[in-house]
Amino acid sequence: MKKFSVKSIVAIGIGAALFFVLGRFVAIPSPVPNVNISTQYGLLAFMAIVYGPVAGALIGFIGHALIDFSFGWGVWWSWVIASAVFGLLVGFAAKLLKMDEAEMGKKGLIKFNIGQIVSHVICWGVVAPILDILIYNEPLDKLFAQGLMSGVANAVTTAIVGSLLCVAYAATKTKAGSLTKE
């Protein structure tokens, strides 16, 4: 079994805390009840790319559980699990698309956004609604409205915030051959 490094554990703690702060205090109410336009998924996608799928899943799970707990209505486990699945999927997508090997130019941003959009569709179009039905017996029309709003809003904010974080991070990395004498 692979052990977590101290770096990964610290990243999970900081990532979950930042996910909580962004989700709790930087959320914009949407026209659909119980759905916010949230910026924390851009951060989650970035952290999943840098630290991997397991760290992404834990950041999404812990961060979302803390957000729900802090609102006082109880933890909505179907959406907490969907957030964890999003972190997991983006982490795997980053590995499949070899995003860590490429510079974060136009091609890298396209790969990032394809991965995050597919992950959002799976999470908010499949995982959350199915779990809402299984766990809470929620009505279908409400689920589709919430899932559609969440998926679209999260994909847009992830495209903006996540892309900016990825480009900024890539700018700090040393480019291959940049330190060689010409």
pLDDT in tens, 104-159: 788 889 999 999 999 999 999 999 999 999 999 988 888 889 999 999 999 999 99
CA distance linking residue 163 with residue 182, whole number of Å: 32
What domains can you pick out in the chain, each with its CATH number?
6-172 (1.10.1760.20)
Average pLDDT, integer, range 41-64:
97
Q: Is the pLDDT of residue 69 over 80?
A: yes
Tell me: pLDDT of 171 over 90.
Answer: no
Least confident of 17-21, 157-161, 178-182: 178-182
Distance CA 177, CA 71 (A): 50
pTM over 0.85: yes
Instruction: Say what the pLDDT of residue 96 is.
Output: 81
pLDDT tier at 170 (50, 70, 90 boundaries)?
confident
Compute CA distances 108 → 36, 94, 166, whole Å: 28, 10, 9
* Distance in angstroms (rounded) separating the CA atoms of residues 167 and 76: 33
Are the C-beta atoms of residues 161 and 49 closer than 8 Å to each other? no
